Structure formats: structure tokens, C-alpha cells
Amino acid sequence: MTAQVPPPAGGNARTMLQSRHPAGMTKIEKAQDPRGAILRLFLYLSPHKLALAVVFILIVIYTVLALLGPFLMGVAIDVAIGGKNIPALFGISLAMLAAYTFSNLFQAASNWIMAIISQRALQQLRHDLFQHIQILPLSFFDKNPPGELMSRLTNDIDVINQAVSQNVTALFASVLSIVGIIIAMFWLNHWLALASVLVVPIMLWFTQFVARYTRRGFRGLQKSLGEMNALMQESIAGARVVKAYRREDTVLEEFRTRNEAVYAAGVYANTYALLLMPLTNVLGNFFVIVLAGLGGWLALMGLATVGTIATFISYGQNFVSPLRQLANMYNAIQAALAGAERVFQIIDVPPEVADASDAVPLTAIHGEVCFDDVEFGYAPDAPVIKQMTLDAPAGHMIALVGPTGAGKTTIINLLMRFYEIQGGSIAIDGKDIRTVPKADLRRQLGIVLQDTFLFSNTVMENIRYGRLAATDEACIRAAEMADADHFIRLLPDGYATQLSERASNLSQGQRQLIAIARAILADPAILILDEATSSVDTRTEARIQQSLLRLMEGRTSFVIARRLSTIRDAGQRRGHQRRSHRRTGQPSSIARTARLLSPSICESIQGSGYMICAALQPIRTLHV
């Protein structure tokens, strides 16, 4: 289940929500159904039923051959050694060698096949998890830090991998070996067999007792590891800010706290996990003592042979060994179940709102945008937009200017359908955007975000991300229009230069220019510039303004800016537009500046301050 959706950075509502929910804490409820997790894991193995059947047949064969060895040893003692039959002793010895050799060969074969099966299953699990993450709403990423998600994609999957690839066959072989040993024991001597099986309920009781606390401990350990990974990812990504504000000691102290939590959770989990080993050793030694004492007494009474006693002691050791393996595997299985629960929690998060069943394809558009009585809040009890109405004529430039938190980016997020509105409607060319496929809608929208993101790829491929079928020549033309070509050619390998993670080997301004080139290449009908020139110096901004104006010709454009210079042209084309209502009393300095700039500015009041909208043609109303 999902928690309340926090708004994106920069909004006042986000600050309010963060005061309720501490940073770095995920609000997805933890699954508490290990049986369900096991069943869901087996669903990933089910497509390989034939291969699994082969594995289990091999397990049966090598387990039977392994059980044959102690039986042949008892025969050798009673028949060959007791009867001084050297040829028989030689033949039985060869048979034992063959049994153990083929047992190991079949075991190796089963392990190899199981490794292939498990990796195929985990490959599909990773694919399903990553694919589901791609269709989750942005609200999910607002409240789940990247480090936490990476922990589930890596650490949790790795824990599941270790359990499935290494322990599934061993688990089945151990159970089969225990059953086979019990059957063989009762067939050889029921008195010794009855004494032997007394160990089983004692072992099971201890295992069940310890397992309850072991599973709880490993779940807590995985959670603590996820939180620590989130902190490390955050501090590494924000290393520049940490150093600039001299917060190394603060970050280190937070890491010590999280690391201490991991230490405490690890001690708790492993204390109970390691408790099983000495318990099984004590029970194993007790088992051999019982068999030796009772077997010796039965031999003296003539109720058992020396070979039978030797076979029982060998079976006894083999009997405790799979029990010990089961105890050890239980620890790995508990960790895997804790990891599986965390993985399935992500897969169970509802995806982004799907397209309507009767969605109509959105082909070529003119670009008229209409917000009609739109209501929206990142949380149901905290609306940030109320009855907003805005008409944006096709082919015109709409500029939104206002203080941080006024809701400028929120309007764009609603237009992109990153979030769903709670009331009213948003239409493009008269079509409600909820009635068209999201892919078609976003194909018509080109956006340059305030927080530029480039991938760890070449400069050329980052530009081509706007239109994957574009040629190199088209990418270069887009870079020229964005005024990025000159600095790209100065890079070590030009357009083939490999960018580091988040393009840290470029300046913020250079990254933004490449993002603008990417939007130009997409050739959208509606262009969105969210502080697109905020990291560009004034001289560079003046150069690219002309390119942006050429790009915006014939397109509906939404320009978000804090600096009025960015949207100067939005208010200088017309002088006959009307002004909208304003606050009573002395207007703010930003409103006065806007009215001096052009009479085409309309201002709207929100709880956090002014939002100013400028357009080439008048817009009816804007109420936020």
C-alpha cells in the first residue's frame, strides 16, 4: 500500500509533509507473510518444471547412493572381515567407491542445473522489479530515497540468490537423506532406530524456537542496511554541498548512528543464527553416545551385529549432518524471506494511473491548453491549487513567474500528468488529457527541467535521448540551436565524450545547454522550460534566448522563471492586454516590477505569495 504523496521539491506543501514524516523513512508497510513470500518465489521457478524434475531425480539418485555406502560398510564388517573373505572385501570396497563417486558426480550435475534455473528465475525477478519501478508514479519516488531502492535491487536480490541457488537442492537432499536414513535404520534394527529418532523432535523444537527470533532479526538487519545505504548515497551525491557547508562531522555522526543500528541488528540476528550450530553439535554428540552405548549392549545380548552398529553410527553422523545443514540453511532462508518481502513490497505498490480503457490516440495538435477549475493537492487534506482556470492559446508563450513554492512547477507536473488532479479538467485542443494515452500526451510535450539530469553515456546519446531515431546531424543541429555546439567540440572527444555519473565532468550550465538541445531535438508541439536558463550566465542566456524564441515559434510554450529577464519577450509583444485583480494594499515589489515591464502581466494570489503570468495574448483568469 502507498502512503500519502509528498509534493516535489520547492513546494510549500512538501515542507509541511516532511515535518510529519522524517526524511529517509519509507511508509510502505512491511509484509509479514513468509509463507506467501515462499509461494511467490516458487512462482518464478515454476516455468522450469521439467528442469526441476531432472534436478530432483538426480538428488534422489545421489542421496540413495550416499546412503548405500554405510550399508556396504556394515556388510563388509560382518561378511568380509568377520568371515575373512578377502575377495568379498575387495568387491564391496569397489562398490563403495563407485557409490560415493557417482553420488558426487550426480550431485555436481544437479547443482549445475539448479544454478541455471535459479539465475533464470532471479533474472526474471530483477526484470519484474525494475520494470515495475518504471511504471510507478512520481509520488513513490518522492518518499523513497534512491539508496533504499538500490538496496532492494542489489542487496535483497543477492540474499535471495544465495538462498535459491545454493540451498534449494541442499534442502531437498537433506530432507530426503533424513527420511532415507530413518527408513534404513528401522529396516536394520528397530530398537536402535527408535533411540535415534528421539533426537528429531528435540532438534525441531530448538530450530523452531531460534528461528522465530532469527527471522525477526534478519528483517531488521535488511531494513537498517537499506537506511544506511540511503544515507551513503545521499551524502556521496551531495558531497559538494556537504563540503561547502562544512557538514562532514554531521554526516559522519549520522552515519555512525545508522552504522550502529546495523551493528545492533546484525548482532541480534546472528546471535540467534549462530546459536543453532553449537546446539546441533551437542545433539550430534549425544546421538553418537546413545547409539554406541545402546548398540554395544545389544551386541553383547546378541541382538545386533558389529557391522549393524557401525552402520548405525555412520548413519547417525549422516543423520545429524543434514539436520545441521537444515539449521544453517534456515538462517539463509530467513534472510532470503526478509529480502523477498522487501522486493515484493515494491512490486505490490500500485502503478501509475493507467490509461482509460476508451483512451483516444492524440495525434498532431495545435497546442491550445485549458485548465478549467482545476483542484489539486499532494495530500488530500492540503490542497495547493484551488479552482484554477487558465487558457493558453495555441502557438503562444505563457510565462509563470513567482516565488519558490507558488506552484509554478506544480502546474507543469499536472499538464504532464505526473500527478492526477482531484477536480476540474485539463484539456489540449479541447480533449481532456485523461482521455488520451499518456505516451501520446508526453510525446507532444518537450520539457527542460530545473534539475538537469544527464545519463552516463556520450554527449551525442544524451542529446539523442529526445528522439532515438535522430541522426547525428540532427543532434548536432539541435546543439547548435541550443548554443551548445561550441563547448561540446572543445571536450576531449567532442560529441563522443563519455559523461560521468550525473555528468559531473560538465558544469551545471553546460548540462543545462545539453538538456535544451535534447528538448529541441524532440520537436514537441508544446514546449516547457522550467528555469531552463537558471544556471546560465547572463551573456550565455542572451545568446540562447534567440534560439529559444526561434524554437518557440509556432509552438505553445510554458516558461517558468524566477528572473523577469527570462520572460521579457512574453510581455513586450502586445500592449493592450488587461490586468487581473490584485491584492488590496501596497503590491509586492515583484508585482510592481512586472507591471512596469508590461501590462500583459496577470497576477494571482496563493497562500505563499504571488504567481505572475505573462502571455502574448490575454488569458481569462488564473486563480491558484
For the chain, give every domain's residue range: 32-347, 367-438+564-624
Asked if the model's pLDDT at residue 584 lies above 60, the reply is no
Comparing 52-56, 459-463, 553-557, which segment has the lowest mean pLDDT?
553-557
**Rounded average pLDDT over 295-321:** 77
**Nearest-angstrom CA–CA distance, 332 and 166:** 10
Asked if the model's pLDDT at residue 54 lies above 90, the reply is yes
Asked if the model's pLDDT at residue 28 lies above 60, the reply is no
Q: Which residue has the higher pLDDT, 446 or 28?
A: 446
Comparing 88-102, 424-438, 583-597, which segment has the lowest mean pLDDT?
583-597
pLDDT number for residue 407: 77
Q: What digits encode the pLDDT tens for the residues 351-373?
A: 877 777 777 887 778 888 888 88
pLDDT band at 476 (very low <50, low <70, confident <90, very high): very high
pLDDT number for residue 241: 79
Phi, psi of 400 (to 5 degrees): -115, 120
pLDDT band at 58 (very low <50, low <70, confident <90, very high): very high
Burial category of 191 from C-beta neighbours within 10 Å (exposed 0-12, middle 13-18, buried 19 and up): middle
End-to-end CA distance of the chain: 31
Asked if the model's pLDDT at residue 150 lies above 90, the reply is no
pLDDT number for residue 616: 35
Using alpha carbons, list the distances in angstroms from residue 454 to 238, 263, 316, 484, 518: 16, 36, 63, 14, 10
pLDDT number for residue 275: 75
CB-based contacts of 12-17 (< 8 A; 24+ apart in sequence): 12/384, 12/405, 12/607, 12/608, 13/377, 13/378, 13/379, 13/382, 13/384, 14/142, 14/378, 15/405, 16/382, 17/378, 17/379, 17/382
Using alpha carbons, list the distances in angstroms from residue 320 to 133, 170, 174, 281, 317: 45, 14, 10, 8, 5
Asked if the model's pLDDT at residue 440 lies above 80, the reply is yes
pLDDT number for residue 211: 66
Look at phi and psi of residue 618 and say left if phi exceeds 0, alpha if psi is from -120 to 50, else beta: beta
pLDDT number for residue 621: 33
Residue with C-alpha cell 545508522?
258
Asked if the model's pLDDT at residue 321 lies above 50, the reply is yes
601-606 and 382-392 as β-strands: parallel, antiparallel, unpaired? unpaired
User: CATH number of the domain at 367-438+564-624, please?
Assistant: 3.40.50
Q: Is the Cβ–Cβ distance between 410 and 376 less than 8 Å?
A: yes
pLDDT number for residue 496: 92
CA atoms lying within 13 Å on the CB side of residue 213:
16
**Nearest-angstrom CA–CA distance, 164 and 55:** 13
Asked if the model's pLDDT at residue 468 lies above 80, the reply is yes
CA proximity to 316, closest of 570, 5, 74: 74
pLDDT band at 540 (very low <50, low <70, confident <90, very high): low
Encoded amino acid at 257, one letter? T
Q: What topology is assigned to 32-347 in CATH?
A: ABC transporter transmembrane region fold (1.20.1560)
pLDDT number for residue 513: 84
Asked if the model's pLDDT at residue 225 lies above 80, the reply is yes
pTM, full prediction: 0.64
**Nearest-angstrom CA–CA distance, 312 and 199:** 14
Asked if the model's pLDDT at residue 583 lies above 80, the reply is no
Residue with C-alpha cell 495525434?
363
**Rounded average pLDDT over 148-168:** 81
pLDDT number for residue 571: 38
Highest mean pLDDT: which range of 191-205, 396-410, 485-499: 485-499
Helical H segments across 247-305, by residue range: 248-300
Asked if the model's pLDDT at residue 585 lies above 90, the reply is no
**Nearest-angstrom CA–CA distance, 370 and 529:** 18
Q: Which residue has the higher pLDDT, 25 or 428?
A: 428
Largest CA distance in the chain: 121
pLDDT band at 495 (very low <50, low <70, confident <90, very high): very high
pLDDT number for residue 546: 67
pLDDT band at 203 (very low <50, low <70, confident <90, very high): low
Q: Which residue has the higher pLDDT, 16 or 253?
A: 253
pLDDT band at 523 (very low <50, low <70, confident <90, very high): confident
pLDDT number for residue 96: 87
CA angle (278 as vertex; 275, 282 as ends), nearest 5:
135
Asked if the model's pLDDT at residue 573 lies above 50, the reply is no
Q: Is the Cβ–Cβ distance between 329 and 171 less than 8 Å?
A: yes
Asked if the model's pLDDT at residue 393 lies above 50, the reply is yes
pLDDT number for residue 6: 35
Q: Which residue has the higher pLDDT, 124 or 37?
A: 124
Q: What is the mean pLDDT of the chain?
A: 75
Asked if the model's pLDDT at residue 578 lies above 50, the reply is no
Q: Is the Cβ–Cβ distance between 380 and 568 less than 8 Å?
A: no
Asked if the model's pLDDT at residue 392 lies above 90, the reply is no
